[in-house]
Structure 1
Amino acid sequence: MTSPDNTTTSPETLRALEEVYAAVKRVRRDLRPSDRIVQDLEIDSLATLEILLGLEERFQVSLVDNVRAAGVTTVGDLVALLDELRAGRPS
């Protein structure tokens, strides 16, 4: 799967994000790489923190303390960052 900025996103990571999103927001939704996290998904700062912590626990990576996480604006950006962290590439 390729996001609008031509980065490849992992379907496995996207599904995991959908599951964490559903647990936090209490609503199931198919997420697209182009979805904007704040505007389209209506995620506030508390929900953002809960989602990041859920993803950290699931994938054993550090997102909350990651400088790049602050610049994530779309689902595709977040999935790409997670994939990089999971692969052990420097962020």
Structure 2
Amino acid sequence: MTSPESTSAPTETLTALEEVYAQVKRVNRDLRPTDRIIQDLEVDSLATLEILLALEERFGVSLVDNPRAAKLQTVGDLVGLLDELRSAKTS
């Protein structure tokens, strides 16, 4: 059985990502885990950096310097990495 925290964390993370995406791209949109960051969301390298920096500030984790961040392809990949980093920070 999963704890309430583990089921709510991805939703919280995805909601935060949607908010940051809306600020950076000036577009309100529901994001899906299968959305490809570059192709589907039309995020260029500068916008990617802005999004990562905003998420770092919001969650207190390091994304820009994380080598795994360069390999992110989808929203689900980014949410998974954020959740992992947030979980490691609290343990």
Task: Please give the range of the TM-score, normalised by the shorter of the 2 chains.
Answer: 0.7 to 0.9
Other-structure match for 1:88 = 88
Provide the aligned length of Structure 1 versus Structure 2.
82
Structure having the larger proportion of residues in helix = 2
TM-score scaled to structure 1, two decimals?
0.87
Cα distance between partner residues in 1 of 2:49 and 2:21: 11
Alpha-carbon distance in 2 for matches of 1:52, 1:86: 14
Q: TM-score by structure 2 length?
A: 0.87
Coordinate RMSD, CA, aligned: 1.4
The ranges of structure 1 where at least 4 consecutive aligned residues each deviate by more than 4 angstroms after the TM superposition are: none
In structure 1, runs of 5+ residues without a counterpart are: 1-7
Structure 2 unmatched runs, 5+:
1-6
Determine what percentage of the aligned residue pairs are the same residue: 77
Q: Deviations over 1:24-75 (max 9, x none)?
A: 0011000000000000000000000000000000000000000000110000
Question: Structure 1: which amino acid aligns with 2:79?
Answer: V
Paired residue type of 1:22: A
